[in-house]
Structure 1
Amino acid sequence: MGLEELNNVLGHFTVLFKSSSSVASIFAWIGIILIVIVLIYYISVGFVKLTKAFLRMKVKYLGLVLMIAGIIFIALSIVIP
C-alpha cells in the first residue's frame, strides 16, 4: 500500500521529465542527484552524532530513551493500520 502511494507521487515527476527537452531533463536529474547527495550527507552526519550521543549516555537515560522509542513505535502501530 505504501509503495502505491510512492508510485503516485513519483508519477508526477515522470510526467514533467517526459514533456521536457533532453537538456532540461539532464539539468533536472543533476539537480535531483545533488539533492540526494546532500540528504545522504546530512543523514550520515546525524547518524554519527546520534551514535556518539548513545555511547556517551548514562545507562539510566539510555533505558529511558529506549522506552520512549518503544512507546512511540507501539503508538504508531496502533494508529497506522
Structure 2
Amino acid sequence: MTVTWEELGWERVAAGVGRCRLPVWDCTAGLVAGEDAALVIDAGSSPAEGARLRQQAQSLTGHRVTHLALTHPHFDHVFGAAAFP
C-alpha cells in the first residue's frame, strides 16, 4: 500500500521534498528523499515524536532514514534525535 505525503500530514513542496508542522510547539520538520537515502531535518521535541517522524519518513521513501540534520539546539528540534540510529 502506498501512502501519500498528505495522508501523513506532510506538505509536499517539490519532488521528494516535504515538510510537516509538529503539534504543541509549532515546530517544522523536513524530509528530503533520494534514490537510496533520506534526510530528516529536525527531530521533534521528544523521542516519541522523533520515532513518529522516522517511521513516516520510512513509509514515504521506502527505505530507512540515512541522515538527520538539526537546524539549531532548541529542545523542540533536537530531543527527538534519540529515536534515530
- Normalising by the smaller structure, the TM-score range is under 0.3
Which structure carries more strand by proportion?
2
* TM-score, length of structure 1 as denominator length: 0.26
* TM-score, length of structure 2 as denominator length: 0.25
Question: In terms of Rg, which structure is larger?
Answer: 1
Instruction: Work out which structure has the larger RCO, using CA pairs closer than 8 Å and 6 or more positions apart in sequence.
Output: 2
